[in-house]
Amino acid sequence: MAGVVSAEERFNIITRNLQEVLGGESIKAILEQGKNPKCYWGTAPTGRPHIGYFVALTKIADFLRAGVEVTILLADVHAFLDNLKAPLELVGYRTKYYEYLLRTVFTSLGIPISRLRFVEGSSYQLTKEYNMDNYKLCSIVTEHDAKKAGAEVVKQVESPFLSGLLYPGLQALDEQYLGCDFQFGGADQRKIFVFAEEYLPKLGYAKRAHLMNRMVPGLAGGKMSSSDPNSKIDFLDPPEAVRKKIKAAFCEEGNVADNGLLAFVKEVLIPISEMRIERSKGQTDADPEEGKSALGEQKPFVGEDAPEGTVFTIHRDPKFGGPSHYKNYEELRDDFASTNLHPKDLKTAVADAINKLLDPIRSTFQADEEWQKVEKLAYPDPNAKPEKKKKVKVYHPPPPGKGKNAQPATESGAAELSQPTSEVAG
């Protein structure tokens, strides 16, 4: 494997820029045997995916560089079970929409989809074996443990449905049925991951490792959520909508706490910039296909005249000090904290970078009629008025002698009509 000479280096690529790693020793053991670990990342097709997904999707490039075999789970059954976020009749369309979108986003990032395996949950979660294991779990998991495990992921309501309590158990079983060595997800999945580590061995299955990326705060602070349009930017939002949302985002001068824009620079823009810089130097290790079929502009978010080592540039008019070049996130954060970097300049830079990321995704969508049809079926307009059915006029012929073209009867005609049929015939 070109560029990677040790198991330790491969492990460092797999685990860099993560918030937490549980069970990393099991991954090291696989690497030391010269084998390729297997992982899965799953998403439930409910609300429209937002740009916070860039955090996880970009990290998958590292997995491929380290030789990891990656499965993308489209968890359609989970989507329905999550307290009916997605009605059953829409889940199928939303699953198709998510696959269209994820394949496009991966390609826009230069990640070769030929090296990814896409699996729908229902393709194996409805089998006899899987359901029997689910029943076994239900016989040993308490309501308390199931509710606690899903607290950060499953929608919490006053009177929760039983379906939401099943969610953590199914996600744990997915590790076994997808044949993975570790599961990758956001830090909000931690309780489910711990649940899986505890309960899978009780069914006689291996305990898996778990890797977690940081969560990006929403534009107004707090969690970026698909259900809150004001907290997030959709992958298909037009450029003007992106700028409007960024302009309205919470970004108090000098305040680095709960600043969603700074967090996005740290967790998305700088990692993508670094990935592109490494790719330009041929540092893709076990993934020689990375970047070859990429959509759109693949330049790092760095100015043309930036010094070596720069990973992010804030462009400004010379009369306001000119561009600022940063070699890491900490330099940018400190500049903002000391008010050397104004919120307006940060917002402009972030909006420009996001629109560059979204341009190839939006263009692909606009050129794909089938994807557009799926999108309308997956997310029908709630305010759309039902089409009025046109009344079909049925023609009923008038009785004899009636109607606008009827001719008045003559005396002879009337006399003839009054004769018996036998006489007329004779």
In a domain, 135, yes or no: yes
For position 425, what pLDDT does the model report? 41
In a domain, 108, yes or no: yes
In a domain, 283, yes or no: yes
CB atoms within 10 A of CB 137: 21
Polymer length in residues for the chain:
426
What is the spatial distance between Cα 64 and Cα 290, in angstroms, rounded to a whole number? 9
In a domain, 195, yes or no: yes
Number of structural domains in the chain: 1
Per-residue pLDDT of the chain (426 residues; tens, 9 = 90+): 445 569 999 999 999 999 999 999 999 999 999 999 999 999 999 999 999 999 999 999 999 999 999 999 999 999 988 756 667 889 999 999 999 999 999 999 999 999 999 999 999 999 999 999 999 999 999 999 999 998 888 877 777 788 889 999 999 999 999 999 999 999 999 999 999 999 999 999 999 999 999 999 888 766 666 556 667 999 999 999 999 999 999 999 999 988 999 999 999 999 999 999 999 999 999 999 999 999 999 999 999 999 999 999 999 988 888 999 999 999 999 999 999 999 999 999 999 999 999 999 999 999 999 999 999 999 998 777 766 666 677 766 777 766 666 566 555 444 444 444 444 343
Residues 56/186, Cβ–Cβ less than 8 Å: yes
- Domain membership of residue 203 as a residue range: 9-378
For position 224, what pLDDT does the model report? 62
For position 23, which CATH number holds?
3.40.50.620
CB-count burial class (<10 Å; 0-12, 13-18, 19+) for 81 = buried
In a domain, 4, yes or no: no
Q: Which is nearest to 220 in space by CA: 247, 242, 238?
A: 247
The rounded Cα 52 to chain-centroid distance in angstroms is 8
Q: What is the pTM of this model?
A: 0.86
In a domain, 418, yes or no: no
Residues 324/335, Cβ–Cβ less than 8 Å: yes
What is the spatial distance between Cα 349 and Cα 346, in angstroms, rounded to a whole number? 5
In a domain, 254, yes or no: yes
In a domain, 404, yes or no: no
